[in-house]
Structure 1
Amino acid sequence: MHSPVILQPFTNRSLLNSFDTQAFLDREPYPWHNLEGFLTPDGFEALNRDFPALELFEQHSGIERGYGQRPHNRYYLAYESSIYHDSTSKGIVKHEELPLVWQQFMTDLETNSDYHKLIRSLFCVAKYTVRYAWHIGFAGCEVSPHVDSPDKIGTHILYFNTHETWKPEWGGSTLILGDKRTDKLNPDVSDFGAVESANILDNRSFLFKNTPDGWHGVEPLTCPEGAYRRLFNIIFEFPKVQPLPSARLRSLMKKVVHR
């Protein structure tokens, strides 16, 4: 068992404080950046070593997606609650069930003022909600080109593979897609005139703002059995607007308040 050493802060504060916000916002075809060294070397090593066990994940296979896009097959693990179901038996991990280093990291993430200050400036928002999920990809898995739902403001993808565990020829790079040459909403990579690849190895991460032109994807993995593409998603979403109470309920509330 690993000793409970507290590694906070996990993030490279100098990188956060020197980030060029305007260059990010000006980037085409939409704002994105492939960060190197977002995590400290010790932080990355510990989180990579104690990545949540595969037994905690649920397998997603053949789940229907919008516009006829191909299924996003993978192993999936949500933090605290899932957008896919209410069950807590599989595919959801509670804070106290995580390896200790991940518990420490989640706490650090949620209290990291430098990180949240940067996110607000990059995504041009004052408020947001955050949810978290781990993905594990295996041979044949892909993410067909798509734009995220309008509920999402942006996403920060932290990759947990190294040159020792993953070979570039197996694929797995997140593709930044531009110059779309079809009206289809389920295009292929070949339908784009501009394709850039994000590096996913050795403490890299991919941060992007969701826009109507924010097309991205991952081509099918060609890794051998037993090799896995591993990542952790930090997903920023617009706060949900609470519905106004009905007129009858408002009337009853006033009566209660004024008694």
Structure 2
Amino acid sequence: MPRFLRDSALTDAEAQRLATSPAFPWADFRQMLTDDAFAELNATFPPLTAFERHDGLVRSHGQRPHDRYYLAYETSIYHRQGKGDYGLTGDTGNTTHDRLPDVWQAFIEELKTDETYRRFIVKALGTDRIVTRFAWHVGTTGSEVSPHLDARDKVGTHIFYFNTKEDWREEWGGSILALDGKQVPAMNPDFGDFRGEVAMDIRDNRSFLFKNTADAWHGVRALTCPANSYRRLFNVVFETPDKRRGGVRGLLDRVLR
């Protein structure tokens, strides 16, 4: 199967762009996927029937809930025992490798094993002590990602967006916001509690990579799209290996190498 990622987008110079970003290390990328890869992945994005609906899940610092549809690859953080117990049961919102379309299986394999992508991520995040997990998100009318910091055991996240100018209008919102200059001490600030923000378009083969730091505040304002329009993305999450200790199956398969 042809390559998904463009080598020209995975250079040290591109990775270094994170270091020059304001507030915290982030960069948005255009055309990181080849045109054919984006078209095929977009056309075979998992159907909404495979997802689990999240409504009103409590967040750690009392932020407004991130209501959305969620689908995890192999293991869901929302169904782990103990600390990961969100009161959700069953096997919904979860998919296995063999249940995905061939094109998505191949894409995930490339993300897990491709040495060029590994070097790019290690350069961008400044560490090679990472394991990966994958998940798809779908936002609908009213969905919001209230301003937040990611969990401390996340090293960074690479978000691939799957919308186009044909299915998503700019006035509906959906842009991810890199937030700067928090002016209140609370850990559940609102968008107006920041001095500045930078908005990134999510349409036509865009992706957003950021390093998780103590200042990596980000969010998405509530969507105003029609009922049958969806904000779609695929998350590649890089975590510290320590988080996966204690019997999580497939650890070695998830190591980015």
Gap runs ≥5 in structure 1: 1-5, 244-259
| Equivalent residue pairs, number | 237
Matched, 1:49 2:43: yes
SS of the equivalent of 2:150 reads coil
Aligned to 1:248: none
- C-alpha distance in 2 between matches for 1:54 and 1:210: 29
Aligned to 1:223: 225
- C-alpha distance in 2 between matches for 1:88 and 1:111: 30
Aligned to 1:210: 212
- The 5 Å alignment of 1:106-121 reads 106-121=108-123
Q: Segments of 4+ in structure 1 off by > 3 A?
A: 18-23
Give the conservation status (yes or no) of the 8 Å contact 2:15–2:121. Answer: no
- C-alpha distance in 1 between matches for 2:228 and 2:174: 15
Aligned to 2:254: none
Matched, 1:196 2:190: no
Matched, 1:145 2:147: yes
Matched, 1:64 2:58: yes
Matched, 1:157 2:167: no
For residue 18 of structure 1, report the CA deviation from its aligned partner.
5.4
User: Root-mean-square deviation (CA), in Å?
Assistant: 1.3
Bigger-Rg structure (1/2): 1
Give the conservation status (yes or no) of the 8 Å contact 2:140–2:230. Answer: yes
Q: Matched residues, percent identical?
A: 48
- C-alpha distance in 1 between matches for 2:130 and 2:206: 24
- The 5 Å alignment of 1:1-259 reads 6=1, 8-17=2-11, 19-85=13-79, 89-240=91-242, 242=245
- C-alpha distance in 1 between matches for 2:45 and 2:204: 14
Aligned to 2:251: none
- C-alpha distance in 2 between matches for 1:225 and 1:67: 30
For residue 141 of structure 1, report the CA deviation from its aligned partner.
0.3
Of 121-130 and 41-50, deviating more is: 121-130
Seen in structure 2, the aligned counterparts of structure 1 residues 48 and 121 have a Cα distance that, compared at 3 Å, is: same
For residue 22 of structure 1, report the CA deviation from its aligned partner.
3.4
For residue 61 of structure 1, report the CA deviation from its aligned partner.
0.5
Aligned to 1:246: none
Q: TM-score, normalised by structure 1?
A: 0.88
- C-alpha distance in 2 between matches for 1:235 and 1:137: 18
Gap runs ≥5 in structure 2: 81-88, 247-257
SS of the equivalent of 1:235 reads strand
1:33 maps to a residue whose letter is A
1:59 maps to a residue whose letter is R
Aligned to 1:3: none
For residue 117 of structure 1, report the CA deviation from its aligned partner.
0.6
